Structure 1
Amino acid sequence: MSRPLRVALVAGEASGDILGAGLMQALRRQCPEVEFIGVGGRRMEAEGLRSSFPLERLAVMGLVEVLGRLPELLARRRRLTAELIAARPDVFIGIDAPDFNLGLELRLRRAGIRTVHYVSPSVWAWRQKRVLKIREACDLMLTLFPFEARFYQEQGVPVRFVGHPLADTIPLEADRALARQALQLPAQGAVVALLPGSRGGEVARLGELFLEAAGRILAVRPDVRFVLPCASAERRQQLEQMLAGRNLPLTLIDGRSHEALAACDAVLIASGTATLEALLFKRPMVVAYRVAPMTYRILSRLVKSPYVALPNLLAQRLLVPELLQDAATPEALVAALLPLLDDGQAQVEGFDAIHRALRQDASVQAAEAVLALARGH
């Protein structure tokens, strides 16, 4: 008897663990006799992955932190490469974490193992020469967004747009009244969600700015209430210190960002993946971002894209206001947000079209592409 299909996967952080678990479920539905090896978190392990080491050992953010852990990361990649070459999986799937996975994929492909990269790095925006390494390392790129697939097609990289799993799970129309009830927010009146980011540095740069803007909005619209989801206990403590001395009708909540987005009428939000969630909940938004001045000067030279905010990249036009660096002032945020409380329909219609385009049953699409590659089709 031939052995079961053997699939290797490596996820480098919690978001990759979610994607990996969904893909594993879809693979098992299409191929019940499948064996999973590699590295993943608790969700992937619950789907049957035998993880070579804890996913948390790969989840490193920030240049200094990466440099401090570099010897360990390189040693783990060497050992994992040897393990996977010895195991001879039918296909390897690197889920995001491009700095770790692309090098791994290159070694495995040279050893004759078919390789897939799931979730494109931002090569279309900056460091475009990385596409040369991707072309050499990957038999197939799976993208979450259609504009990414177009970029890879132009670069001669085999690619398949599979859609975004969040677009499959978030309903086309969220129940605002139910979300407000769950968060004990007033049933009537406008609610603005403030999402200044999930990391300490983001909140340090945007938290005071968003709270100042909230105070100015309140001065013009005394009926407005605010909700702010905290990504962690540390972020809650950080924001509570910023709120000291302010008299804002603001509800701090732990996590539950999806409920906050469902409950609100408009969003003031940091640029990042949360903007996709706000888009999928069809909530008009103003996007802001600040980084260290030197970082901004460097990125301004490197970034090739005309837009920063994900909704604008997906729409391929300026669908939502994006206020970056010095342009992100309380006055500018208020001027951009207030009109959306009265009429954000143009944004909502654009969001709905994007949601439907991304709603492709992503895990099933990804599984079909992986199985076709593994079987040599």
Structure 2
Amino acid sequence: MNRDTQTAPAVDLASPAFRESSPPTVIAAPRFALVAGEASGDQLGAALIQALRARFPGATFAGVGGDAMRRAGLDAWHDASELAVMGLTEVLAHLPRLLKLRARLQRRVLAWQPDVFIGIDAPDFNLGLERRLRRHGLRTVHYVSPSIWAWRRGRAAKIGHSADRVLCLFPMEPPIYAAYGVDARFVGHPMADEMPLQPDRQAARRRLGLSRQGPVLAVLPGSRRGEIGRLGAVFLEAAARVAAEVPGLQVVVPAANPGCREMLEALAAASPLRGDALRILDGQARDAMVAADVVLIASGTATLEGLLAKRPMVVGYRVSRTTAAIVRALGLLKVDLYSLPNVLAGERLVPELVQEACTPERLSAAVLDYLRDPALAARLEPRFTEIHRSLRCDASTRAADVIETLIARR
């Protein structure tokens, strides 16, 4: 295929100096294929496209993405929503369609012959596609490592068969890959770049219509219907117990989407919390966390957002009894710390109440500890700020740096 290139001035190609130190030939108008499968991946992909275009103004981008990636210049062959399937039952129901979609994408990517293929998160879909493309000689990148630090570390070796480079959001991930001979690079976390080091609590309260001084508890039982089914009633009962002890408490519960809101409203109707004491929000999870005195939150990526908001939090989580029994029996879980603030700190900064310990009594007691002892909450802020700084690396630029090395040829 004929491509424009930028090359160094002509020299004696036979000279030892050229063979040892000649600069790489870089494609001036490279092609990048990208596949992102949900809203967070769409945002990552859009920022990465902008960083790559800054290096390669003539670059073209195609693949799977959402509105943000389209605005950044992606020629979307499919929409990201076609990949956004969560939960075992849902995945099984959509599996034939997803397999056909992956096969079509493989053929189209191979026909288009991009200089690099970039799979953004969505590991169940992207890693298999990356592996097949790599076998056909394409360079591949996987952006956002699965949580190998938490369970099934041996997956790192399999991921290495799929990706020439793995771009990691957390610093503890590359050493795990290195043990399996996989080239993984820490690039930082885009959320840490995006969020200010000193969040404006009063501005967040104004946006939500909350009082300036009254105590606020943000309750986030998850962004998926399955999580809300397991945690919603437990979290709301815990919030009711806290409200009974703290006069004037305002409880805010962000709903990730209309389906989640419907579930939360049904749970709220059965809760002792009524009227102005409880508000269900349409989205606005970040504002809710920044505005809160304490956050009661499901374990997951949202706990990182709570850390970056510099708010004290109580983390709870439950999986089904069957899943918990399987994980324990097979020894799949390799960590003693579950929530990202504790994992990143390497110590138990915030309470973690998991499975049998995730009860309204214990959750509410941990929340009340923070509300009754402001010094306990204040001690967290400098630690959270330290972690925030360590993740604030201009992730999109660093990711583009790594990808640029893949398309440089001697």
TM-score (norm 1): 0.96
Tell me if the contact between 2:153 and 2:176 (Cα under 8 Å) persists in the aligned partners. Answer: no
| Structure-2 separation of matches of 1:354 and 1:376 | 37
Q: In the alignment, residue 335 of structure 2 is paired with which amino acid? A: S
Shift of 1:85: 1.6
User: Which amino acid is the alignment partner of residue 372 of structure 1?
Assistant: T
Alpha-carbon spacing, 1:190–1:228, altered in 2? closer, same or farther (3 Å): same
Secondary structure of the structure 1 residue equivalent to 2:379 = helix
Structure 2 counterpart of 1:358, which letter? L
Deviates more, 1:242-251 or 1:136-145: 242-251
> Which residue matches 2:385?
352
Which residue does 1:288 correspond to in 2?
A: 316
Separation in structure 2 between the aligned mates of residue 230 and residue 60 of structure 1, nearest angstrom: 18
* 1:176 and 2:213 correspond: no
Tell me what 1:254 maps to. 282
- 1:325 pairs, out of 326, 336, 355, with 355
> Which residue in 1 is equivalent to 2:398?
365
SS across alignment from 1:53: strand
1:212 Cα deviation from its structure 2 partner: 1.3
> By how many angstroms is 1:170 displaced?
0.6
CA distance 1:206–1:318, change in 2 (3 Å): same
Equivalent position of 2:22 in the other structure: none
Counterpart position of 1:267: 295
Letter in 2 for 1:327: A
Q: Residues 233 and 75 of structure 1: is their aligned pair in 2 closer, same or farther, counting only changes over 3 Å? A: closer
Per the alignment, residue 277 of structure 1 pairs with 305
CA 335–28 in structure 1, closer or farther in 2 if over 3 Å, else same: same
Check the 8 A contact 2:152/2:334 in 1, yes or no.
no
Secondary structure in 1 matching 2:219: strand
In structure 1, what is the Cα distance between the partners aligned to 2:58 and 2:91? Answer: 38
- Give, in whole Å, the separation in 2 of the partners of 1:118 and 1:164: 11
Q: Secondary structure at the match of 1:259?
A: helix
User: Which residue of structure 1 aligns with residue 108 of structure 2?
Assistant: 83
Q: What is the deviation of 1:349?
A: 2.0
**Would the aligned equivalents of 2:300 and 2:339 in 1 still touch at CA under 8 Å?**
yes
CA deviation profile, 1:184-229 (whole Å, cap 9, x unmatched):
1111122111111111221122111112111211222213221111
Secondary structure of 1:52's partner?
strand
Distance 2:314 2:138 in 1: 45
Of 124, 138, 154, 1:113 maps to 138
Question: When the two structures are aligned, how many residues end up with a matched partner?
Answer: 377
Letter of the 2:184 counterpart: V
Secondary structure (helix, strand or coil) at the match of 2:182 reads coil
Q: Once the 2 structures are TM-superposed, how far is the Cα of residue 291 of structure 1 from its aligned partner?
A: 1.5
* 136-145 vs 237-246, which moves further: 237-246
1:138 equivalent in alignment to 2:163: yes
Shift of 1:231: 1.4
The 3 A distance-change label for structure 1 pair 80 and 244 is closer
Match of 1:60 in 2: 85
> In structure 2, what residue type is equivalent to 1:131?
A
Shift of 1:157: 0.9
Q: Is residue 2:160 matched to residue 1:127?
A: no
CA apart distance, 1:167:
0.4
TM-score w.r.t. the length of structure 2 is: 0.88
Distance 1:127 1:213 in 2: 33
Match of 1:211 among 221, 228, 236: 236
Contact 2:168 2:174 in 1 (8 A): yes
| Cα contact 2:48–2:400 (8 A) shared by 1 | yes
Match of 1:16 in 2: 41
Task: Indicate the SS of the match to 1:302.
Answer: coil
Matches within 5 A, 1:194-205: 194-205=219-230
Quote the Cα distance in structure 2 between the aligned partners of 1:199 and 1:281: 22
Q: How far did residue 347 of structure 1 move?
A: 2.2
Q: Could you tell me how far 1:37 is from its partner in structure 2?
A: 1.6
CA distance in 2, matches of 1:345, 1:188: 17
The offset of 1:233, in angstroms, is: 2.1
Name the stretch that deviates more: 141-150 or 202-211: 202-211
Q: Does residue 1:298 correspond to 2:326, yes or no?
A: yes
Q: Which amino acid aligns with 1:287?
A: V
CA 1:64–1:242: 2 relative to 1, 3 Å: closer
Which runs of 5 or more structure 1 residues have no equivalent in the other structure? none
Bigger radius of gyration among the two: 2
Where does structure 2 lack aligned partners over 5 or more consecutive residues?
5-28
Alpha-carbon contact 2:63-2:76 (below 8 Å) kept: yes
Letter in 1 for 2:360: P
CA RMSD, 1 decimal: 1.5
How big is each residue's C-alpha offset from its partner over 1:250-299, in whole Å with a ceiling of 9 and x where there is no partner? 22211111111111111000111111110100000000011111111122
Tell me the SS of whatever aligns to 2:296.
Answer: strand
The residue type equivalent to 1:158 in the other structure is: D
